[in-house]
Amino acid sequence: MSALPGDKDKTYSQLLEIGPGMGVLTKILYPLYKERLFLVEIDNDLIPNLKKSYPLIENQIFQEDFLALKLEDIFKEPFGIIGNFPYNISSQILFKLVDYRHLIPELTGMFQKEVAERIVSPPGNKVYGLLSAWVQAFYKAEYLFTVNEGSFNPPPKVKSGVIRLVRKENIDTGCNEELLLNIIKQGFNQRRKTLRNSLSLWKPHFDKIDSAILDKRAEQLSSDDFVGLAKAFSRKL
């Protein structure tokens, strides 16, 4: 993560690590953040060792599912997120990130490589999809490096990828974001069709849209393009 305590040029100094496990990453982060480091670990058997190893933050180590954690009850100022994320809930973690973007300027994490590539993918790529467009509407996404299977014990069957997400300067899109998400979902649910067909639910608004956009498929649109559609579709007829 880019922020360190006392670094006045950064927008946060607190850090939450998701899934510290045996503390391989925690032991590097702890000297940097100390009392500004928070941990959330779902495995109850690992909590005693973490509290023994890091007594300064004993009350900031939560035995809970991150998805159920009420972040607003813990953090009253911006914080960063870091972690080796469980592959089975990685998408849900990112949806929660967007929900709490007012508190989270940055996330750096390790995902299954295919998921990491999907998150950072630009439009026009086959792996660009719902998660790509939704996350990129609010965060700038960067692929940092690949981690091979042999880096783990026991080794997984897949490679991992580490990415960084940095919140955009304007945290609000200026549109109805529930509508935005619905448009993105609908577009990618029928990704082989042009938007003229996949977004037919909003056909009464098509006269407000450039026909060139409607003749494209969802994978060809940037997050900004989707925001533009949401703004147009929300205008009164």
What is the domain partition of the chain in residue ranges? Answer: 14-167, 177-234
**Architecture of the domain made up of 177-234:** Orthogonal Bundle (1.10)
122 by DSSP, 3-state: which? coil
pTM of the model: 0.91
Identify the pLDDT of residue 193. 95
Closest by CA position to 138, among listed 113, 171, 99: 171
- Can 14-167 and 177-234 be said to share one CATH topology? no
Q: Between the CA of residue 179 and those of 1, 9, 29, 175, what are the distances in Å?
A: 32, 35, 39, 8
* Amino acid type, 219: E
Nearest to 118 by CA among 101, 130, 105, 100: 130
Residue 130: the pLDDT is 97
Per-residue pLDDT of the chain (237 residues; tens, 9 = 90+): 444 444 444 568 899 999 999 999 999 999 999 999 999 999 999 999 999 999 999 999 999 999 999 999 999 999 999 999 988 899 999 999 999 999 999 999 999 999 999 999 999 999 999 999 999 999 999 999 999 987 877 787 889 999 999 999 988 999 999 999 999 999 999 989 999 999 999 999 999 898 999 999 999 999 999 999 999 999 865
CB under 8 Å to 216, separation ≥6 — which residues? Answer: 194, 195
Contacts for 220 with CB less than 8 Å, ≥ 6 apart: 123, 124
Q: Where are the beta strands (DSSP E) in 19-138?
A: 37-40, 61-62, 79-84, 106-112
Give the span between the Cα atoms of 226 and 237, in whole angstroms.
19
The token pair at 73 is 């009850």
DSSP state of 205: G
Architecture in CATH for domain 14-167: 3-Layer(aba) Sandwich (3.40)
